[in-house]
Amino acid sequence: MRKKVIFPQVGLPYLLLLPQLAITFVFFFLPAAQAIWFSFLRQDAFGIRTEFVGLENFVELFADPLYRDSIWITFVFSLSVAALAMSVALGLAVLADRHIRGAAAYKTLLIWPYAIAPAVAAVLWIFIFHPQVGLLGRFLNGIGVAWDYKLNGTQALIAVIVASAWKQVSYNFLFFLAGLQSIPRSVLEAAAIDGASPARRFWTVVFPLLSPTTFFLLVINLTYAFFDTFGVIDALTKGGPAKATTTLIYRAYIDGRVNLDLGSSSAQSVVLMLAVIALTAVQFRFIERKVHY
Amino acid sequence: MMHGPGVIPRAEAIARAETAAERADTARRRADWLTHAILILGVALFALPIWIVLMGSTHDVATISRGEVPLLPGPYALENYWAAWTEGSARTTRVPVSAMMLNSFVMAMLIAVGKIVISILSAYAVVFFSFPGRMLAFWAIFITLMLPVEVRIFPTFKVVSDLGMINTYAGLIVPLIASATATLLFRQFFLTIPDELVEAAKIDGAGPMRFFKDVVVPLSTTNMAALFVILFVYGWNQYLWPLLITTTGDVETIVIGIVRMIGSEADTDWHLVMATTVLALLPPVAVVILMQRWFVKGLVETEK
């Protein structure tokens, strides 16, 4: 699409673009280029000498069993967060979509957790999961279940998954509700007249018609779980115990900011960039064409 | 009631139909009640973590540390909030929550406003002007979608530190105010402005900046409001970025502050952590609820 009528000025558009392009260049392109360049370099222990090592950082990275573990953890974590956040949201949206009084009130009551920061959501869940000061944690220990997400890796993963998914439910709820409301009533009525039970109507009519929304949300939720849950993990488990909740982003942070490992951290950044590009490509390919039933 | 096969009296038939309708009605009402019950339970479970923190923030530290997890309000509300607001956690961070709130507020406001201003200018340039490098500029902005700060942690930190922007508001804000999403949203909207409007303005002798000020900006207010809600929440909730570039309490935001307040959990002022959590989530939640209409619009538009 192109405007037919445009202003003839030549200098002005550059001036208008300057602030954004300057920031984009200094804080996006420069660091990204440096990440790629540094990923081929290695510094000695004292940070004095730097040498070009080719792909060695990458080879070392993928040879590291801990890095392979964190790939697996990221995978399990992201899929669980997406599945949990989406199924709860879909259930609530289906209920709220029934033509009952107060549907708008439920909407208001369910959307605000979107506004809560991931790290703050994690702090809220501390008071549920914590073995001493948390509601559920204390209860579990009281009935004889050894619950301590600071010691048990699986429990730690459950805690960060629940806290991350909780925050994302509102977002999914809004989009599922909009999707449900856009399904023509006539289709549902036709299915009802044909004698399909509510459950059957849901799985054979509503769910397939929702597939564009579902797919869109899947990509968004995976992206969220991948990148935006750093705060949850840092506040709740700090990647532990024994790295059981160290996702790829968390590891990149530890190696970059804490260990100041230039080569490895940069190589990890490059791997993550490739992951984002892949996710974005999938998103565009499918969403632009709309996934249809 | 027993009836033989055969003719049913008319009145009886009507009565039966009515009972059938009533039964269907009762069934639907029962289903509605069930729906309400499940939804209320869902909302309650959903709100439980907030409720616990809200109630906990009105009790003293001993109650919380004993793990009593009170579900009803206690007598220490004023005391706790006052202590958090003016002093913060004396045992861990010693930064008053009011200072952290101010930092968060400045950061969120400047990020939201800055992003909107910068994006609307560049979208205006890309849509209404023809100049060499137009598509290149557009793609340069667009591609930043693929470079979230999470994937360039170390190098971006290095650039900011080379520029001497560690522990400054500028370092906290400037790197975050280039937004491809907002630019794309404005571009999308500008493309729907009819050409006749530009033509008419040109005939009236209005230059590009005049047209921008008198036509484009007023037409964009709804989009700006929608973006503002999303971006304010985005700015307020930043975690990784402030964590990277703040090392002292001076520009510490509240989201970072809470986590530091918890510390190693050996000596945590849990009651103050709870009060601070409530304070930390109030502003963004208030913005979303008060501006709900624009918020929903913003969410839907920015994901297009």
pLDDT tens-digit series, residues A205-219: 888 888 888 888 888
Number of folded domains that form chain A: 1
- Answer whether residue B2 shows pLDDT above 70: no
The answer to whether B282 touches A112, Cβ cutoff 8 Å, is no
The answer to whether A7 touches B208, Cβ cutoff 8 Å, is yes
- Tokens 């445009």, residue located: A6
Which residues lie across from A43 on neighbouring strands?
Answer: A50
Which residues lie across from A7 on neighbouring strands?
Answer: B129
> Model confidence over B163-187: pLDDT tens digits?
888 888 888 888 888 778 888 889 8
Q: Give pLDDT, residue A190.
A: 85
Q: Give pLDDT, residue A244.
A: 85
Q: In angstroms, rounded to a whole number, what is the distance separating the alpha carbons of residues B273 and A122?
A: 12
- What count of CB pairs under 8 Å joins A to B? 278
Please check whether residue A284 lies inside any domain of the structure. yes
Mean pLDDT for B33-52 is: 86
- Distance from the Cα of A137 to chain B's closest Cα (Å) equals 10
- Answer whether residue B199 shows pLDDT above 50: yes
Interchain CB distance below 8 Å, B65 and A231: no
Give the chain A residue whose CA is nearest to the CA of B142: A24
In this prediction, residue A293 has a pLDDT band, given cuts at 50, 70 and 90, of very low
The closest CB to that of B158, out of A34, A110, A118, belongs to A34
The closest CB to that of A27, out of B56, B67, B178, belongs to B178
CB contacts, 8 Å: A118 with chain B: 237, 239
Domain boundaries, position A127: 64-289
The answer to whether A212 touches A289, Cβ cutoff 8 Å, is no
In this prediction, residue B108 has a pLDDT band, given cuts at 50, 70 and 90, of very high
Q: Is B157 on the interface with A (CB under 8 A)?
A: yes
In this prediction, residue B117 has a pLDDT band, given cuts at 50, 70 and 90, of very high
Please check whether residue A73 lies inside any domain of the structure. yes
Interchain CB distance below 8 Å, A23 and B295: no
Please check whether residue A49 lies inside any domain of the structure. no
pTM, 2 dp? 0.85
Q: Give pLDDT, residue B113.
A: 94
Mean pLDDT for A178-192 is: 84
Mean pLDDT for A277-292 is: 67
Interchain CB distance below 8 Å, B125 and A13: yes
- Answer whether residue B116 shows pLDDT above 90: yes
Interchain CB distance below 8 Å, A30 and B159: yes
Q: Is B298 on the interface with A (CB under 8 A)?
A: no
The token pair that represents A166 in the structure block: 């909780």
The answer to whether A178 touches B300, Cβ cutoff 8 Å, is yes
- Distance from the Cα of B169 to chain A's closest Cα (Å) equals 15
Pick the residue of A26, A127, A229 with the most B CBs within 10 A to test the interface with B by mutation: A127
CB contacts, 8 Å: B294 with chain A: none
**CA dihedral defined by A60, A61, A64, A65, rounded to 10 degrees?**
-150
Q: Please choose, from the candidates A65, A110, A59, A76, the residue with its C-alpha nearest in 3D space to the C-alpha of residue A222.
A: A76
**Backbone dihedral angles phi then psi of residue B2, each to the nearest 5 degrees:** -110, 135
Concatenated DSSP letters of B45-108: HHHHHHHHHHHHTTS-HHHHHTT---SS--TTHHHHHHHHHHT--TTTT---HHHHHHHHHHHH
Q: Is B280 on the interface with A (CB under 8 A)?
A: yes
The closest CB to that of B122, out of A16, A29, A266, belongs to A16
- Answer whether residue A285 shows pLDDT above 50: yes
ipTM of the complex: 0.84
Interchain CB distance below 8 Å, A114 and B288: yes
Sequence letter at residue B69 = V
Higher pLDDT, A253 or B248: A253
Mean pLDDT of chain A: 84
Please check whether residue A10 lies inside any domain of the structure. no
Please check whether residue A20 lies inside any domain of the structure. no
Interchain CB distance below 8 Å, A272 and B159: no
Higher pLDDT, A83 or B87: A83
Three-state secondary structure along chain A?
A: CCCCCCECCCHHHHHHHHHHHHHHHHHHHHHHHHHHHHCCEEECCCCCCEEECCCHHHHHHHHCHHHHHHHHHHHHHHHHHHHHHHHHHHHHHHHHHCCCCCHHHHHHHHHHHHHCCHHHHHHHHHHHHCCCCCHHHHHHHHCCCCCCCCCCHHHHHHHHHHHHHHHHHHHHHHHHHHHHHCCCHHHHHHHHHCCCCHHHHHHHHHHHHCHHHHHHHHHHHHHHHHHHCHHHHHHHCCCCCCCCCCCHHHHHHHHHHHCCCHHHHHHHHHHHHHHHHHHHHHHHHHHHHCCCC
Ranking A117-131, A180-194, A279-293, B77-91 by mean pLDDT, the lowest is A279-293
Burial class (CB in 10 A: 0-12, 13-18, 19+), A215: middle
- Answer whether residue A119 shows pLDDT above 80: yes
Please check whether residue A55 lies inside any domain of the structure. no
Three-state secondary structure along B133-164?
A: CHHHHHHHHHHHHHCCHHHCHHHHHHHHHHCC
In this prediction, residue A78 has a pLDDT band, given cuts at 50, 70 and 90, of very high
Q: Give pLDDT, residue A287.
A: 60
CB contacts, 8 Å: B31 with chain A: 98
CB contacts, 8 Å: A166 with chain B: 46, 49
DSSP letter assigned to residue B9: P
CB contacts, 8 Å: A234 with chain B: 239, 243, 259
Please check whether residue A133 lies inside any domain of the structure. yes
Q: Give pLDDT, residue A291.
A: 45
Please check whether residue A123 lies inside any domain of the structure. yes
- Tokens 């559920």, residue located: A136
Distances (CA, A) of B275 to B50, B89, B98, B259: 11, 11, 12, 13
Interchain CB distance below 8 Å, B69 and A108: no
Please give the share of chain A, as a percent, with pLDDT higher than 70: 93
CATH classification of the domain holding A190: 1.10.3720.10
Domains and CATH numbers, chain B: 10-85 (no CATH), 90-302 (1.10.3720.10)
Mean pLDDT for B28-54 is: 84
CB contacts, 8 Å: A110 with chain B: 42-43, 46
Dihedral (CA of B123, B128, B133, B138) sign: positive
Q: Which of residues 234-273 of B touch A (CB under 8 A)?
A: 236-240, 243-244, 255-256, 258-259, 262, 270, 273
- Distance from the Cα of A46 to chain B's closest Cα (Å) equals 17
Interchain CB distance below 8 Å, A92 and B39: yes
Mean pLDDT for A67-74 is: 90
Give the chain A residue whose CA is nearest to the CA of B34: A95
Mean pLDDT of chain B: 82
CB contacts, 8 Å: A255 with chain B: 154
Interchain CB distance below 8 Å, B159 and A31: yes
**How many angstroms from the chain centroid is the CA of residue B230?**
5
Q: In angstroms, rounded to a whole number, what is the distance separating the alpha carbons of residues B258 and B93?
A: 9
Give the chain A residue whose CA is nearest to the CA of B232: A115
